[in-house]
Amino acid sequence: MSELALLLPVGLFLAAAVLCALLPRGWSFVITLATPIISALVALQVMQEGQQFTHALLDYTLVPVAVDALGLLMMGLFHLAAFIGALFIAAEKDRLQHGAMLAYFAGGMGAVMAGDWISFFVFFEIIALAGAGLVFARRTEQSTQAGVRYFLFQVGAGVMVLAGLLMNGLTTGQWLIGPVSLSQTAGWFLLIGLGIKAGFPLLHIWLVDAYPKASLAGLSVLVAVTTKVGIVALMKVFPGEAVLVPIGTVMALWPIVYVLNESDLRRVLAYSMMIQLGLMVVAVGVGTPTALDGVSLHIAMDVLFKMTLFMALALVLANLGTTHADQLKGLGKHWPVVAACVAVASLANMAIPFTGGFVSKKLMLSAIETSTLPQWLYFVLVSLSVVGLLYAWVRITWRVFFQAADAHSLKPSKDALPRLQLLALLLPVTLLVLTGFVPGLLDGLRPFGSDTDVVTAKKIISQLLMLGTAGLVYWLLAKKGLGLPTQRLARMADIGVVYRFVLTTLPQAIAQKWRTGVEATTPSLIQAMRFVAQPKWPLQHLGQSWPIGAMALWVAVIFAVLLLLGLVNS
Amino acid sequence: MMTYLGYALTGGLAVAVALLIRAVGQRILGSKESVDE
């Protein structure tokens, strides 16, 4: 089999995205659903660990595909996520959503399989473009603005990565993706670029801004690729880098105040992504095989339970027109299957034993516990599951789906939910339960070859004790009126306030001040400028806008005159 | 036994601390305007 065949899965997704744009709307569903199945069959045939596709370009040797165990795991995950997403948006006739979703996964697969920096950068940008398309496809003013901000941040990440890879390549001659030291400036550029993608604190605002405002397809699949590609790249470039530990810790703790206060549950979920991602970043900073295996598996589990929760909220939004917590109660009575799926996903999210989330999270935490990091940090990170209990179980699962509805609660229509959307919810949930009860299934997927066993009686009892006590304490506090608020609270300020101040308010204030100051000190100059800018005579031929051709002609004439003058002088 | 007790205490303490962070954070960061879609 030719090496070129290794590019087939990515090529298939990209070709399918183009087809979605060209063919009639009715075809989109068939293409979107068939592509991950066909591509997965092709990938199983052609891809084996250790294979590479190399291509000479000018003085460089590109490696667009370098198959390794981590890449294969991510390929499998992205195919699965693409299939789930396709099921979920089956009824959508919007070609932009279908096409952007396929291109988004193509970018993701290309980025995790890329062996050299230049190929990685190309796929990195495809993710940015297609991801923005998934946000734009909502077609509201707010989503358009959020899509632009998302795109600007992703382009910013791309520019930082480009600067880093060029500096690294030109100084070391190394164009293949591999560990880069932070003692070089290039390392810092790469860290910031990949950090934007992974949702580092202070650089995370695009995540909580764009994801909640995305289209139906965006809500279901945006959690699967962008940030995960950032984490995978961090694993390849900065494994065991100490600075990732404080960054990840802040990243995991930052959203606590938001997930417990935000009224819009889509924003709650977007913020909650940061908690899981922060934990992953800390584990990448630890860098042992167990830690990196934990991160790899937790990426997969996080995609499964977060996709389920986001898809459930997308259903709520589509049927009730809102995802504000104070208006949603007792939906489980109308939608029992959705409620059951949300319950399982929430349990996996807080790493309850016998779910896949427990296995992957405990692998990371086990590596952190046995590392040289202080024990108090381990306990802080362990207790993040309790935060999960509060936002995922109490706020989303219990209140929205199981608590009895009251007079203010919205009621869904009596129409049955589309079966394919229910299937899209059931598929990841089944896998979460299956991998929880048969953790051996995940052992064969560990890309870094660790053999740490985390499904032990001690760890199961410890986790159940911690979450059980937390639940009991919360119940007692809630009875005394000290629980989580049920009314709608005002929107919380985040670092976006600082961005807005620095990028818009401050420049406007400075410009205003400058104008006022200049007008006061040099009135004659200002008058002269105004005179030139706004001539008082009627605009004749010279004042009209000219065609570009005429402009080019006049430029050529001027250059010809200059040339003649030059010749005469010489 | 001590380990189990440690985890149980961590769970109880984490709830209390999280709720405290929520309340303080809401007071500091909660804005007057509410942006809804």
With an 8 Å Cβ cutoff, is A472 touching chain B?
yes
**Would you tell me the crossing angle of helices A117-136 and A141-172 to the nearest 10 degrees?**
180
Per-residue confidence (pLDDT) for residue A225, from 0 to 100: 96
Q: How far is A346 from chain B, CA to nearest CA, in Å?
A: 17
Report the run of H or E that residue A232 belongs to, with start and end. Answer: helix A216-237
Q: What is the DSSP string of A352-373?
A: -TTSHHHHHHHHHHHHHHTSSS
The end-to-end CA distance of chain B, in Å, is: 51
Mean pLDDT, residues A268-280: 97
ipTM score here? Answer: 0.91
With an 8 Å Cβ cutoff, is A263 touching chain B?
yes
- CB contact under 8 Å between B33 and A490, yes or no, is yes
Q: How many CA atoms lie within 13 A of A495 on its CB side?
A: 14
- CB contact under 8 Å between B18 and A386, yes or no, is yes
Q: How far apart are CA A2 and CA A6, in angstroms?
A: 8
Task: Please report residues of A whose CB lies closer than 8 A to that of B34.
Answer: 263, 488, 490-491
Query: Mapping DSSP to helix (H, G, I), strand (E, B) and coil, where does residue A202 land?
Result: coil
With an 8 Å Cβ cutoff, is A465 touching chain B?
yes
Which pLDDT tens digit goes with each residue over A545-554? 556 666 777 8
Residue from A226, A232, A218, A308 nearest A74 by CA: A232
User: Is B37's pLDDT higher than 80?
Assistant: no
Query: Mapping DSSP to helix (H, G, I), strand (E, B) and coil, where does residue A438 land?
Result: coil
- CB contact under 8 Å between B11 and A386, yes or no, is yes
Q: How far apart are CA A136 and CA A519, in angstroms?
A: 42
Q: How far apart are CA A106 and CA A75, in angstroms?
A: 10
- CB contact under 8 Å between A383 and B13, yes or no, is yes
Report the run of H or E that residue A129 belongs to, with start and end. Answer: helix A117-136
Which pLDDT tens digit goes with each residue over A294-350? 999 999 999 999 999 999 999 999 999 999 999 999 999 999 999 999 999 999 999
With an 8 Å Cβ cutoff, is A142 touching chain B?
yes
User: Is A525's pLDDT higher than 80?
Assistant: no
Q: How far apart are CA A278 and CA A189, in angstroms?
A: 20
Q: How far apart are CA A299 and CA A365, in angstroms?
A: 14
Q: How far apart are CA A331 and CA B36, in angstroms?
A: 22
- CB contact under 8 Å between B4 and A491, yes or no, is no
Contact of A190 with A215, CB cutoff 8 Å: no
Q: What does residue A332 show for φ and ψ, rounded to 5 degrees?
A: -60, -30
Instruction: Pick from A387, A484, A494 the residue to mutate for testing the B interface (most B CBs within 10 Å).
Output: A387
Q: What does residue A460 show for φ and ψ, rounded to 5 degrees?
A: -65, -45
Per-residue confidence (pLDDT) for residue A542, from 0 to 100: 53
Q: In A78-221, which ranges are E strands?
A: none
- CB contact under 8 Å between A465 and B37, yes or no, is no
Give residue B11's identity as a one-letter amino acid code.
G
* Structure tokens, A269: 């979920």
Q: How far apart are CA A333 and CA A319, in angstroms?
A: 15
* Structure tokens, A32: 């979107």
Which pLDDT tens digit goes with each residue over A340-375? 999 999 999 999 999 999 999 999 999 999 999 999
The alpha carbon dihedral of A488, A489, A490, A494 has a sign of negative
- CB contact under 8 Å between A261 and B30, yes or no, is yes
CA of A478: which chain B residue's CA is closest?
Answer: B19
A55 strand-pairing partners: A62
Q: How far is B30 from chain A, CA to nearest CA, in Å?
A: 4
User: Is A529's pLDDT higher than 80?
Assistant: no
- CB contact under 8 Å between A260 and B22, yes or no, is yes
Which pLDDT tens digit goes with each residue over A60-98? 889 999 999 999 999 999 999 999 999 999 999 999 999
User: Is A186's pLDDT higher than 50?
Assistant: yes
Q: How far is A203 from chain B, CA to nearest CA, in Å?
A: 18
Give residue A261's identity as a one-letter amino acid code.
N
Q: How far apart are CA A221 and CA A9, in angstroms?
A: 18
* Structure tokens, A388: 């999960």
Contact of A25 with A93, CB cutoff 8 Å: yes
Task: Please report residues of B whose CB lies closer than 8 A to that of A265.
Answer: none
- CB contact under 8 Å between A261 and B11, yes or no, is no
Report the run of H or E that residue A66 belongs to, with start and end. Answer: strand A60-66
Query: Mapping DSSP to helix (H, G, I), strand (E, B) and coil, where does residue A175 land?
Result: coil
Residue from A214, A318, A212 nearest A273 by CA: A212
Q: How far apart are CA A553 and CA A539, in angstroms?
A: 22
Task: Please report residues of A whose CB lies closer than 8 A to that of B36.
Answer: 264, 324
Q: How far apart are CA A238 and CA A210, in angstroms?
A: 27
Output the pTM of the full model: 0.90
Q: Ramachandran region of residue A371, left (φ > 0), alpha (ψ -120 to 50) or beta?
A: beta
Q: How far apart are CA A82 and CA A104, in angstroms?
A: 9
Candidates B6, B12, B36; nearest CB to A470? B12
Instruction: Pick from B27, B28, B29, B33 the residue to mutate for testing the A interface (most A CBs within 10 Å).
Output: B29
